[in-house]
């Protein structure tokens, strides 16, 4: 199995070292480098091409969200996870619109950081339901959906919102990951979003997904030994209760 390659960006050097050790000791994860500012992180990411970038939000020369913005075109397959100690609504909104796959608070256990790196590499969105609620309250209510989604795009959207990774979503729909990626790009364009995270937030505002769908498979602490943590997202899109059948005349591409 190919190791998940990670770049750590944090100007709190002790915390960065703790993350480096935790990830280094985790099976299947390789830490490529540890850097401490936006400029160096952007250069190193483009040179090393990691699967995941773990970036603090507050950095000496900018923010972790700026790293996500700078990489979303150059490295579209690199997942940026932003870490913060103060997840204000403004910060969450900035992260969601940056192209990052999600957000973690620095109060989370290091084992949760390791689990989140694996989840980000597999294509999952990392946002807690209460954070999504705050994001919706801050969202621009004047924005409107420009183009309707196809039935298949709605299926993809709701699977992503339920916590499915790219692999499990494509398997559930019986399509390749390349086809799934094409549907996701169409979703982003139609919803005016820069990331899967922002697309789900915008879809929730439009009523296309619900907070119940979002939270059902998202325990507060990933890997916690609770019934909710042990429950898995639906393996098939049909019959799960979350994905309605296609509307008459709906496209299934």
> pLDDT per residue over 153-202, tens digit each?
888 888 877 777 788 888 889 999 889 889 988 988 888 887 777 787 78
Distance CA 48, CA 18 (A): 21
What are the structural domains, with CATH classification, of the chain? 4-121 (3.40.50.2300), 151-230 (1.10.10.10)
CA–CA separation, 95 and 64 (whole Å): 8
Model's pTM, two decimal places? 0.68
Distance CA 196, CA 30 (A): 25
Q: Using CA atoms, how far apart are residues 76 and 80, in angstroms rounded to an integer?
A: 10
Residue 170: the pLDDT is 87
All residues at 6 or more sequence positions from 136 whose CB lies less than 8 Å from its CB, including other chains: 201, 204, 205
pLDDT in tens, 206-221: 778 765 555 444 433 3
Q: What is the mean pLDDT of residues 230-240?
A: 41
């Amino acid at each position: 199995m190919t190791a998940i390659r990670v770049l750590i960006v944090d100007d709190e050097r002790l915390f960065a070292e703790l993350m480096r050790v935790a990830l280094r000791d985790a099976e299947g994860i390789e830490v490529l480098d540890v850097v401490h500012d936006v400029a160096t992180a952007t250069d190193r990411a483009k040179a090393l091409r990691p699967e995941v970038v773990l970036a603090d939000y507050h950095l000496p020369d900018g923010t972790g969200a700026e790293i996500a913005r700078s990489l979303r075109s150059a490295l579209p397959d690199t997942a940026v996870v932003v870490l913060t100690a103060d997840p204000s609504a403004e910060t969450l909104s900035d992260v969601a619109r940056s192209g990052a796959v999600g957000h973690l608070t620095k109060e989370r256990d290091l084992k949760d950081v390791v689990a989140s790196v694996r989840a980000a590499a597999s294509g999952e969105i990392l946002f807690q339901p209460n954070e999504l609620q705050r994001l919706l309250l801050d969202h621009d209510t004047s924005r409107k959906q420009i183009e309707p989604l196809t039935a298949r795009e709605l299926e993809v959207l709701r699977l992503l919102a339920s916590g499915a990774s790219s692999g499990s979503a494509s398997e559930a729909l019986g399509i390749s990951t390349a086809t799934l990626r094409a549907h996701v790009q169409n979703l982003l364009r139609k919803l005016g979003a820069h990331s899967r995270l922002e697309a789900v937030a915008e879809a929730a505002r439009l009523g296309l997904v619900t907070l119940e769908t979002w939270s059902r498979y998202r325990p507060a602490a990933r890997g916690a030994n609770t019934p909710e943590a042990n429950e898995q997202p639906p393996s098939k899109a049909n019959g799960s209760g979350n994905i309605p059948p296609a509307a008459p005349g709906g496209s299934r591409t």
